[in-house]
Amino acid sequence: MSQLDPLAQLLSRRPKRLALLEQIAEQGSITRAAKAAGLSYKAAWDAIDELNNLSEQPLVSRSVGGKGGGGARLTPAGERLLALQRRLQALQMQLLQAAGDDADLELLGRLMLRTSARNQLTGRVHAIHAQGHNDLITIELPGGCHLQALITHDSTENLQLSAGSSVVALIKAGWLELQPLSQPADVERNALEGRIEQILPASDGPSEVRVSLANGQTLCASVEPQHLATLGLVDGDPVRAQFAASQVLLGTQL
């Protein structure tokens, strides 16, 4: 295996979303940008959700529908990120030359793990409260709303968390419980309020419900269609997403 092979594998793990940014800047259409980036329309929407959720400021501004399947443009933050990505591409060959051997690149590749958690929300540690062997981590999301994660004290130390630390909160779609705002919130669980942006029915199984938060981040919940009908929730409805602090996984950048 040549030295180029592991580098190519490493770099191939993350460019789809960044390639989508480039195409959005050029095309101004989600449909055309997705096609040019080699993504399905749904995968493009998912990627935009991830990009906006992982940034403290939305990177892409989009509109639903239209002749081109939905318009999209980069925000100033998205334009800055794209400019940075282009500068990083110019440094790729320097990275290749700096690597001692293939093992160095393979190790770096293992450290750049992806996750199956559907929701990835960026934020900063607001407070840490000890609870026996665990710590209750309060995280401030962009816009000022908060959520809590319950992790072991060892995990807090391993992640080197302290007030102000940048973190990513990971929450599986199936862990989110949606309810109308008319119902009382469970004060012992996390509650994020937003509006149903889109309900994507599945031919067999739970529907995918996208919830837009006021800060521009998006949650995705997996909900059985019958339960949605019981709740009477439809597109555009205000809604509350609830989940336990123990259902929030935390990650940090190396």
Which CATH number is correct for 4-111, 3.40.50.300, 1.10.3470.10, 1.10.10.10, 3.40.190.80? Answer: 1.10.10.10
- Model confidence at 19, pLDDT cuts 50, 70, 90, reads confident
Q: Cα(45)–Cα(23) distance, rounded to whole angstroms?
A: 13
Q: How large is the average pLDDT for residues 65-76? A: 71
Residue corresponding to tokens 């700096």:
98
Reported residue count of the chain is 254
- Model confidence at 6, pLDDT cuts 50, 70, 90, reads very low
Average pLDDT, the chain: 83
- On whether the CB atoms of residues 252 and 168 are closer than 8 A, the answer is yes
Q: Cα(43)–Cα(31) distance, rounded to whole angstroms?
A: 11
Q: Which of 34-43, 58-67, 100-109, 165-174 has the lowest mean pLDDT?
A: 100-109
Q: What is the pLDDT of residues 96-139, one digit of tens each?
A: 555 555 566 555 554 555 667 789 898 999 999 999 999 999 99
Q: Which of 83-87, 141-145, 229-233 has the lowest mean pLDDT?
A: 83-87
- Model confidence at 67, pLDDT cuts 50, 70, 90, reads low
Q: What is the pLDDT of residues 214-246, one digit of tens each?
A: 988 999 999 999 999 999 999 999 999 999 999
Instruction: Count how many Cα atoms sit within 13 Å of the Cα of residue 248 in the half-sphere of its side chain.
Output: 26
pTM of the model: 0.68
Kindly tell me the sign of the dihedral angle through the C-alpha atoms of 235, 20, 167, 141: negative
Report the percent of the chain where pLDDT is more than 90: 48
CATH number for the region 115-254 comes to 2.40.50.100
Residue 82 clears pLDDT 50, i.e. is over it: yes
Q: Cα(146)–Cα(190) distance, rounded to whole angstroms?
A: 8
Region of 123 (left: φ > 0; alpha: ψ -120 to 50; beta: rest) is: beta
Residue 9: the pLDDT is 44
Domain spans, the chain: 4-111, 115-254
Where does the chain have alpha helices with state H? 4-11, 15-27, 30-37, 41-54, 76-90, 92-98, 102-111, 153-158, 225-231
Residue 53: the pLDDT is 86
Residue 125 host element (H or E) = strand 119-131
Report the percent of the chain where pLDDT is more than 70: 79
Hey, do 4-111 and 115-254 end up sharing a CATH topology, with the first three levels equal? no
Q: Which of 72-81, 88-97, 234-243 has the lowest mean pLDDT?
A: 88-97
